Structure formats: C-alpha cells, structure tokens
Structure 1
Amino acid sequence: MQVAEYDTTPEVARKLGAFIERRREQIAQRWADAALFRTVFTVSRDEAVEAGKAVLDALAEVARTGRLEDVGAPGFTAVREQLGRMAAARARAGFNPSQIAGEVAGLREPAVALLRAESGDAADQHACVLALTVLMDTLRLVVMEATVSSGEELIGRQRQQLLEVATPVIKLWESIVAVPLIGTLDSARSQVVMESLLEAIVEQRARYAILDITGVPTVDSLVAQHLMKTVAAARLMGAECIVSGIRPAIAQTIVHLGIDLGTIITRAGLADALAYALTRQGIVVSPSPAVGASPR
C-alpha cells in the first residue's frame, strides 16, 4: 500500500494561502452551518461566520509560512484562545475529545469542495488539496491541545471550588470563628484552610480561631506542620488559635513523630474550645443541669 505524498514547496503553500484568502467568505459561510460553529455561536449566524473568518485568517497565515504541520506556527496564536473556548463549549455539552476532533475534521470537506470547483491545472489542484488536508489535520491537533488545556483548567477550578466548600469558616460567637476539618489534609487544602481562616479573622474581627480536626482521619508530620503554620499566621493577624478534636490515635502519632505542639492551645472537642474562648472573653460558661435534677 502506497502512502500519498503531498508537495510542501513554498509555491504550493503560497497557492493554498491565496485560495483560503480568496474563498474566505464562502468557506466561513459554510462553516457557520457546521455543528462546531452553529452550536457554539448561538446568538446569531453572523457571529459564527466572523469566528470562521478568524480561523481562516490564521490558516492562510500558516499556509503562507509553509509550516503546514507545525501546531506552534505563529498563525495559530491569534485563534488558539477562541478555539479553546469553542472546544470547551462542546465539552460542556457532553462531547468527548474524539467527537470534537471529528467535528473539526468535518470542516475540511466544504473547503475542499470549493477548491476542486476552481479551474486550473489538475496537478496543482491535487497538490493544494493534499496540502489543505495536512493543514486541516494540524488545525485538529491545535483544537485538541486547546481542549485538553481548557479541560485541565476546568478541573483545576472545580477542585479549588470543592476545597473551598470543604473548608467552611463558621462564626460561632462574637469574635470567635471555627474551621471544622473533615477528611484528608494535603498541601493544597491546608493552604486553602489558612487563606480562608485569615480572611475570616479580618472580616469578623475575630480574636479566637478554632481549628477542629475531629474529622481528620490521620495526622502526619506534614499535616502537623501545616497546622502549626496556620496557628502562627493567625497569631500574626492578632487572633489566638485553638486546635480541638485531637483523638487518642492522633495524639499517639504526634508523640511518636516527635512533633512539639507545646506552644499550641488544644482542647478535647469543639465545645471545649468554644467554652475556653468564651471564658477568655469574660463570659461565664456553666454546664446545663441534668434532666430531672432538682435545683438547689
């Protein structure tokens, strides 16, 4: 089986670029009806046409440079962001990368049809068709890169949002805030905890901040260091930090690791930490009488 060869001489590339510029309007009009453009630019058809023209301008510039297979060709720079937005919109609509690639590949046929309809030397026309095929394959790769990039950015934003939701700062009393931590702590989440707590200290003018780790399954040296840094940062903001909810297993781990928490105020549970903070503010906290007990 022989593989078809294409001519990438500057002359063929120049002719391809001239064709794209010459048929820019007609190709853009046909692209506006393609799924990739029609379903992304829903405000008006003219918007889809203009987007198609921008992509064609990029293809013409790439063709003029002769870098038909180079995804890093300068011509793609101007439309890479737009292509990324288009790919992201299709991904949000439920399309996977292979389906998006198929939609990009479908843009080749309208252009090829217009190219074949032109009169001229058959050999030159065939060379331009092959060159156009290569150029459209490169466009497909550019879109795939943009799809992956936009997908990674979306995942990153969602992860950040989940971290923020998973680390709420609660106002327990006047000038007292708390962060009930649940689940595993890593560097990224610990950073979010610190930032959220410091922001709450400023907004609430908090004098006491409680870090409750009752829901944290394990504590290693890294987690302990993050806790100590958070306590130190809170102190710099003028708030006294209290760590509550250290369970027996975690206490043993901290001792075995040789981590010194001597400078940190600790309490058995969140209620004890709140009682401590209230008492420090001069508020008397007394236990409720047992049910059925006679008042003295």
Structure 2
Amino acid sequence: MQVAEHDTALGTAQELGAFLERRREQIAQRWADAALFRTVFTVSRDEAVEACKAVVDALAEVARTGRLEDVTAPGFGAVRDQLGRMSASRSRAGQNPSQIADEIAGLREPVGALLRADFEEDAVERAHACLVALTVLMGTLRLVVLQTTVHAGEELIARQREQLLEVATPVIRLWEGIVAVPLIGTLDSARSQVVMENLLEAIVAQRARYAILDITGVPTVDSLVAQHLMKTVAAARLMGAECIVSGIRPAIAQTIVHLGIDLGSITTRASLADALAHALTRQGIVVSPRPASGASAP
C-alpha cells in the first residue's frame, strides 16, 4: 500500500514538473510583475522574466525528482544564490523576512490558475492532486528563501560586528616608537583578539618600542579581562615592545587586589599622560611640566 501511494505521489510530482516546463514562459511573464521580482529588476523587465524562468526551471527539476518537501534538493541549489540576492535587496528596501515570505507565497496563485486551466473538467481529482503538490512545492520554496534570507542577515551582522570591533579598537601613534590603544567598553574574548592583532600589526608597522593599553574607558576589570590584558602584554613583548597599562582607577585597583590578580610583571601608570611620559623618558626624552602662566624664566 505504501509503495503504491509513493508511486502515485511521485507520478503527481512528475506531472507537476512537466506542467512547469510546458508553461514556463507564461509563468515567468506573470511572475515578472510580482513585487518580489519587479522591485529588484527595475531596469529591464526582460531581466525579471529571465530570473523568473530560472526559478521555474528549478521548481520543475525538484518536482521531477519527487522531493517536493526537501530544501536540500539539487534544484533549489541552482537558484539559492539568486533568491538570496533578491531577498537581500528586498531587506535593504525595508522588507522583513515575514513579508518576503508572503511575497513568495503570492507566487503560487498565478501558477495555480494556469494549472487549473490545463486540466479537463473530467480530471478534477488529478487537478486537485497537482494543486496540492504545487502548494507543497511552493511552501518548500518559501522555506528555502527564508533560510537564505536569515543566513544572509547573519553574515551581514557578523561582518558589521567585525567592522565595529576594528573601529572600537583603534591603534594611535602618539610619538615616534610609541603607540597606544584606548579601550572603551567591555573587553570580551573576541574584542581582545582584535586588540592583540591590531596592536601587534601596529608595533611592526610603526617599529614601536612602547605600546600603551589605556583602560580608562573599561567599566570593570575581572579575572577574564586581566587575563586578556596579560596575554596582550606578553604578545607585545615577544614583538620587542614594552607594554604599559594605564587608566587603572582606584575602584578597579581595589577589584584587582580583591581578586588576587598579579599584575606585578606589568608596567602600570595612572593615566595615559603618565604612560606617555614614562615611555618618552625611557627613550631619553626629557618631559618637564609647562611653567605656570606669568612665571619668569630662570
């Protein structure tokens, strides 16, 4: 019984595939006026029609295999990139994934109308079976587009996060042979890795002998943050640069002591200015305070 049902379902799916091949041009012409294609291919309608034909071909290929509910069917692979670009374009236009999915669902009705017209009046059961198969196939296409849209969104967020990390951790050249990284906000593992990479690259590019890590803008320092700082200091030393940590406020100093964190091997200074003065002094540059206004020169 199950074998017979499977054969019947496969036969219906293949009949649907044959219909899609036969009505390829008419389906493409109707789809080209749908919002999903019309708003993406704004220069030429012919481009929209060709894109529609590619999707119809993909659906026909899936139908021929009988894998109507399989999002991994080879036919979908042929248009996944194209559908992804289209959904990304719709997303940039302000459409959310749910609205894009509704636009995909709206493609079913024009195909269904052609499908019903293709059957004789005495073939009601066959027509109904093919319409059900079409509904399943279009539902799978909708899921493919949703997956592609979500995946593209995740990739975009990941790229933006990387860009924000790089922007949030600039390396500044303060003096010849001296660079600094002013840290603001929470220092987690991902950001610590970016800090280390950017700092090491700057040490090489600037031939820096001193690197200042200023944590004035870091709200809290726990054992994990301290571990990240010590790793960065150790990496800078391996590159031949002395690392100075500045901006340790009284509250943070007390926290470090209470946690029992040993920063004895790290040079520390209260402020970025003090750290810069230390680095300049180590290079033999005399740093003296500016004379008070109105004071006479000796």
Q: Which TM-score band (shorter chain)?
A: over 0.9
SS at match of 2:214: strand
SS at match of 1:9: helix
Aligned identity (percent) is: 83
Partner residue of 1:10? 10
- Residue 139 of structure 1, CA deviation: 0.7
Partner residue of 2:90? 90
1:266 aligns with 2:233: no
- Residue 95 of structure 1, CA deviation: 0.8
Aligned amino acid, residue 167 of structure 1: T
TM-score, structure 2 as length reference? 0.92
Instruction: Give the Cα separation in 2 of the matches to 1:79 and 1:49.
Output: 14
Task: Please say which of residues 50-59 and 87-96 is displaced more in the overlay.
Answer: 50-59
Aligned amino acid, residue 211 of structure 2: A
Unmatched tracts of structure 2, length 5 or more:
1-6
Question: Which digits, 9 at most, give the CA deviation of each residue in 1:147-171, with x for residues without a partner?
Answer: 2111111222222222211111111
Structure 2 counterpart of 1:288, from 268, 271, 290: 290
Structure 2 counterpart of 1:184, from 173, 176, 186: 186
Partner residue of 2:3? none
Aligned amino acid, residue 32 of structure 1: A
Partner residue of 1:208? 210
Contact 1:8 1:66 in 2 (8 A): no
Contact 1:8 1:131 in 2 (8 A): no
Aligned amino acid, residue 29 of structure 1: Q
Partner residue of 1:67? 67
Aligned amino acid, residue 172 of structure 1: L
Task: Please say which of residues 218-227 and 61-70 is displaced more in the overlay.
Answer: 61-70
1:193 aligns with 2:195: yes
Aligned amino acid, residue 249 of structure 2: R
SS at match of 1:37: helix
1:115 aligns with 2:115: yes
- Residue 63 of structure 1, CA deviation: 0.7
Partner residue of 1:240? 242
- Residue 64 of structure 1, CA deviation: 1.2
- Residue 216 of structure 1, CA deviation: 0.6
Task: Please say which of residues 121-130 and 61-70 is displaced more in the overlay.
Answer: 121-130
Partner residue of 1:164? 166
Aligned amino acid, residue 155 of structure 1: I
Count of aligned pairs between the two proteins: 290
Aligned amino acid, residue 251 of structure 2: A
- Residue 119 of structure 1, CA deviation: 4.1
SS at match of 2:87: helix
List aligned pairs for 1:44-55, cutoff 5 A: 44-55=44-55
CA RMSD of aligned residues (A): 1.6
1:29 aligns with 2:29: yes
SS at match of 2:68: coil
Partner residue of 1:78? 78
Unmatched tracts of structure 1, length 5 or more:
1-6
Distance 1:43 1:194, change over 3 A: farther
Task: Please say which of residues 156-165 and 10-19 is displaced more in the overlay.
Answer: 156-165
Partner residue of 1:226? 228
Distance 1:46 1:235, change over 3 A: farther
Instruction: Give the Cα separation in 1 of the matches to 2:28 and 2:208.
Output: 59
